[in-house]
Amino acid sequence: MTAVYPEHESIEATSVSGLTVAGIRAAVRPVLRRLGDTAGAREKARDYAFGEVRALADAGIVLVGVAREDGGAGGSLRDVADVVIEVARADSSVAQALRSSFLVAEQVSSRPDLPHRDVILTRLRNRDLFAGTSNERTGGASGQVNATARREGGGWVVDGEKYYSTGGLYASWFSSQALAEDGTVVRFTVPVDRPGVERLDDFDAVGQRLTASGTTRLTNVRVSDDEVTFPDRAQPDNPWTGSFAQFYLAAIQAGVAARALDDAVGYVREKARPIKHSSADTSVEDPYVRQTIGQIAGRAQAARAVVLLAAETLEDVRGLTGPAARTAGAAAAVHVAHASAIAIESALEAAELLFDVGGGSITNRDLGFDRHWRNARTAANHNPRQWKQAIAGAYHLTGEEPPTTGLF
């Protein structure tokens, strides 16, 4: 039976009048159950969870951290972390696909001066989803932008090709940037069905395969002036604007670790048999299986703990101005870097240890347990932790501030 979800308009009224974190979590619980039950099979079939993602959006999941007066649930960053971890626990590809939408919601929440803020809020309240990237495979090591924007007919015409358009197949809006003829950076947001916007399902990593993170091709895409913004040359008090994005990725890793624990426990209880020389009659009673489950649980707990602590640290930066904001922002960026490294290592280790609770049968492809390591590994490669750890070490040793590249 195909589930029928409410139309946007009916949920919009509920959102403005009384959306709550608890209400959202209750509404998405059955959706996450469906996602979790089908994640392995969908990955094998390259079957995108369009219905479930739409249901999550309709429930207001992206509005968890948006203020009540803006039509959101008024949750804290810890609430956001809890929700993201649970989505990733069900299906880490879906959690990653929602990342751009959560980033947009965070910008609205943290920046009262955000350009086009009212328009963006309306889209969020309408349960629209967002995708966006500046990344290009021809961009070089420094992230050079080769997409072009030229003036034409009172607006702009954009041409180029972007990659890592995470969530692009689920989204209603696509944001990116291009270079004008004079070298000015032109940032823009357009509907994904705008003529000339082509979304390709060509993401082919070993993991996170259903994040819809492939190519967005822009061919003579017309962009009006009210869809364009230009980078603010003024230095913000807290220039580490990428900390939330990195924190979000750490939450995905915590979700992967939690799912590895779920699957390890489920396998031992339901399918595993003790090895021939085991001292136990059942795998549940095997002391070494118990030890391994304890190790996996510890990794999952560590990942979750560092993510939640990072959320509280980022929350403390909000509302600060001047030198206090810069000092706290730098410390929070380093804190998130630590959380990222621990969450990544915990997820990878938990996904590896999962295979130690069973024999040869636990490696059967129909179980799909290898996806947990592959998903953690793929997400980790977006943000190499060696750089984060080295820069964090420099901060602790000399007070050197982390870079403001968006990766901190």
Domains with residue ranges and CATH for the chain: 8-128 (1.10.540.10), 148-229 (2.40.110.10), 243-398 (1.20.140.10)
CA distance linking residue 171 with residue 213, whole number of Å:
11
Nearest in space to 373 (alpha carbons), one of 267, 291, 246, 257: 257
The conformation of residue 204, written as its DSSP 8-state character, comes to -
Q: What angle do CA 189, 55, 70 make, to 5 degrees?
A: 55
Largest CA distance in the chain: 80
- Give the DSSP H or E segment for 223: strand 216-223
User: For residue 10, what pLDDT is reported?
Assistant: 36
Bridge partner list, 130: 173
Neighbours of 158 (CB within 10 A): 26
User: For residue 166, what pLDDT is reported?
Assistant: 96
Whether 374 contacts 207, CB under 8 Å: yes
Asked whether the predicted pLDDT for residue 382 surpasses 70, the reply is: yes
How many Å separate Cα 185 from the centre of its chain? Answer: 25
User: For residue 142, what pLDDT is reported?
Assistant: 63
Whether 130 contacts 166, CB under 8 Å: no
Whether 104 contacts 244, CB under 8 Å: no
The mean pLDDT value for 151-168 works out to: 95
pLDDT digits (tens, 9 = 90+) for 98-122: 999 999 999 999 999 999 999 999 9
pLDDT digits (tens, 9 = 90+) for 353-364: 999 999 999 999
User: For residue 192, what pLDDT is reported?
Assistant: 98
Residues in the chain: 408
Tokens of 70: 């803006």
Neighbours of 139 (CB within 10 A): 15
238 Rama sector, left if φ>0, alpha if ψ -120 to 50, beta otherwise: beta
The mean pLDDT value for 194-202 works out to: 97
- Give the DSSP H or E segment for 161: strand 155-162
- pLDDT tier at 3 (50, 70, 90 boundaries)? very low
Share of the chain above pLDDT 90, in %: 87
The pTM of this model reads 0.94
Average pLDDT, the chain: 93
Asked whether the predicted pLDDT for residue 123 surpasses 70, the reply is: yes
Helix pair angle (243-270, 77-90), 10° resolution: 40
Close Cβ partners of 182 (under 8 Å, ≥ 6 residues apart): none
How does 324-334 read in b/e, with b if 16+ C-beta sit within 10 Å? ebbebbbbbbb
The mean pLDDT value for 126-133 works out to: 97
User: For residue 140, what pLDDT is reported?
Assistant: 65
Whether 164 contacts 176, CB under 8 Å: no
CA distance linking residue 40 with residue 38, whole number of Å:
6
The mean pLDDT value for 293-307 works out to: 98
CA distance linking residue 260 with residue 89, whole number of Å:
8
- Give the DSSP H or E segment for 376: helix 370-381
Asked whether the predicted pLDDT for residue 275 surpasses 50, the reply is: yes
Tokens of 241: 């604007």
Tokens of 49: 């969870």
Amino acid at 255: G
Inter-CA distances, 201 with 98, 120, 164, 166, 370, Å:
16, 26, 11, 11, 22
User: For residue 274, what pLDDT is reported?
Assistant: 87
CA distance linking residue 357 with residue 272, whole number of Å:
8
Q: What is the dihedral of CA 15, 16, 22, 27, to 10 degrees?
A: -10
Whether 34 contacts 41, CB under 8 Å: no
Q: What angle do CA 322, 327, 329 make, to 5 degrees?
A: 95
Q: Under DSSP, is residue 148 helix (H, G, I), strand (E, B) or coil?
A: strand
User: For residue 347, what pLDDT is reported?
Assistant: 98
CA distance linking residue 95 with residue 406, whole number of Å:
20
User: For residue 401, what pLDDT is reported?
Assistant: 97
- pLDDT tier at 141 (50, 70, 90 boundaries)? low
